[in-house]
Structure 1
């Protein structure tokens, strides 16, 4: 009898293993069924615009289904784009509490920093974004996020403390932003030496050179202002509309001024340069030469502003037609007075006022003079 018991032991063990395995499978199936029900319930709440209930339902699944992180990130980003920052924050905060792999954890930290910034919680956003600056993958996005924070709060000196990290980045926009923030930091106490150093260290940015030239012009040192202004025109000919009036305050010989205007008018087809060159021809040559120059340019490049200049030249030539031409010029001027002068090349924002920081997309030095038939 005892021998039979020993023979039955393996059978009992096998039976126990089989039943145990079935029990585990049954438990897993129950858990998966529960997850499926909760997920379906959460999605139903979303589809019926019961977003708060949907979030609560879906967040309960996080501890069970951590593998679905990308789904939750997409959902949170959807809420953020809709402006529902509190909902995005709740999801990202819950994700941030999970023990995840480093790449996922850093991504969630960055996304949460963006949520806090959107909600106006700048201190929280800064505390999350700052450590990411030390990482290779998130250095550039984190720096851009921090610069957005410092721009909103006008903490220019905090941005300048990150200049080493910015130089390690390959981002052109970050380097231009840093140069602009440096100019902002010295707005109350401009210094020629500091502005010159800033100009030399940031060849991509035009604002330090613009600020340096304005400093010299305010001090009635036109000769010193000439070089930075000419370098801006060489790099960004589209800025001639704003730079040429400043260069007129500098000391130019007649031939030097003529050569500059000719190059901009004939090679860059700049409308402001064409108008100024017509004035030069009328003064140093004849009104007929100025008129013929404008007619040629209008055939090559239709422009309302050059047409206005032609009307002005003809008024001086014909006193009999002066009154009629003056009335037409007034109509043209009324038309131009309503036209925008600047446009952001990044987001398309249009304005009559010049901004170093685009009010729409918050990018530095992207708002530039417009070209085309109404351009300058």
Structure 2
């Protein structure tokens, strides 16, 4: 009899394992059924425009099934794009509470910070973003978001403190952003001086604003050679800035020959401002006829309203009879030009008559430039 009981032990163990396995399967199937039921219920709420109830229902699933995180991220981003920041925050906050791998957790933290920024909760967004500057994959996007916060809160000095993090990236746009924030900080603290501006101009060759500020400050401090070098450096990089910078270059105490030598290569590149100034130079130092002789081929090569306006002025200088006939034409041309934008953003196409270092439309730095073309400068 004892031997029989001994033989039944494996049978009992096998039976216990079999029943336990069936019990686990039953619980698993029940859990999946609950998930499916809650998911279906949440989707029904969404379809019937009961978004608050839908979110509550769907968030309950996070305690059961964390494998659908990407779905929740997509849903939260959809709410943020629609302007429903409170709903996006609710989802991202719930996701942020889960125990997830570090990279996924930091991605969710970044998304939550963007929700806070969109909702105007800048301090909360900054608190979440600052630790993420150590994340190599997110660093560039995080820094750009932080700079947007510092711009909105008028705290450029905080951007200056993040220069070491910016230097760890290869981003040209970040360096331009930082250079502009540095200038804003110097202006705000009234610390603009030639040494600081020269350091910025050398450290951020990608940016234009430090060199323009350097040129203006150098002229204010009676150092035309420094201003000239800064202006020519910008024009070599982006000739379209001639419309803004050539009037400054005129203040650099250049003699007539040097001024003509500087203008000629710019005019040969079909820069309208250089052509206009060179025409004035020829009219002053030679004659109106010589200036017109220079201007006519340029006008044929590159039709432009401003060049045409200059031609009208030259014709009026040469003949009193022509002046009387052309004055009404010039008034029409002036009225036309007064209605035209002077600057355009090369990134988004925003047009304006006022210069901006930061585009009001796309929020990109140094993309608003003097307009070229038939009514450009």
TM-score category of the 2 structures, normalised to the smaller one: over 0.9
Superposed CA offset, 1:288-344 (max 9, x none) = 232232221122112111111111111112211212311111111111111111122
Shift of 1:284: 2.1
SS, match of residue 60 in structure 1: helix
Please list, as runs of the form range in 1=range in 2, the aligned pairs for 1:12-91 lying within 5 A after superposition: 12-91=12-91
Q: Which runs of 5+ in 2 are unaligned?
A: none
Deviates more, 1:12-21 or 1:239-248: 12-21
Q: Which runs of 5+ in 1 are unaligned?
A: none
| 1:135 equivalent in structure 2 | 135
Superposed CA offset, 1:198-230 (max 9, x none) = 112211111111111111223344343211111
With over 3 angstroms needed to count, the CA separation of the structure-2 counterparts of 1:321 and 1:112, relative to structure 1, is: same
**Matches of 2:14 and 2:288 in 1, distance apart?**
111
**Matches of 1:71 and 1:244 in 2, distance apart?**
55
1:207 aligns with 2:200: no
| 1:168 equivalent in structure 2 | 168
**Matches of 1:368 and 1:156 in 2, distance apart?**
23
**Matches of 2:33 and 2:347 in 1, distance apart?**
49
Shift of 1:100: 0.2
Superposed CA offset, 1:72-101 (max 9, x none) = 111111111111111111111111100000
Shift of 1:19: 2.8
| 1:337 equivalent in structure 2 | 338
**Matches of 1:11 and 1:76 in 2, distance apart?**
53
Aligned-residue Cα RMSD (Å) equals 1.7
User: Which residue of the other structure, out of 246, 254, 272, is the alignment partner of 1:244?
Assistant: 246
**Matches of 1:76 and 1:293 in 2, distance apart?**
63
**Matches of 1:151 and 1:322 in 2, distance apart?**
52
**Matches of 1:349 and 1:65 in 2, distance apart?**
46
| 1:317 equivalent in structure 2 | 318
Shift of 1:133: 0.9
Shift of 1:242: 0.2
Superposed CA offset, 1:144-167 (max 9, x none) = 111111111121111111111111
| 1:264 equivalent in structure 2 | 266
| 2:235 equivalent in structure 1 | 233
Count of aligned pairs: 375
**Matches of 1:328 and 1:352 in 2, distance apart?**
23
Please list, as runs of the form range in 1=range in 2, the aligned pairs for 1:180-191 lying within 5 A after superposition: 180-187=180-187, 188-191=190-193
Deviates more, 1:1-10 or 1:278-287: 1-10
Shift of 1:190: 1.6
User: Which residue of the other structure, out of 216, 219, 235, is the alignment partner of 1:217?
Assistant: 219
Task: Give the TM-score normalised by structure 1.
Answer: 0.95
Superposed CA offset, 1:233-289 (max 9, x none) = 1111110000011111121111111111111111x2111111111111222222223
Deviates more, 1:88-97 or 1:192-201: 192-201
Shift of 1:9: 4.2
| 2:367 equivalent in structure 1 | 366
| 1:349 equivalent in structure 2 | 350
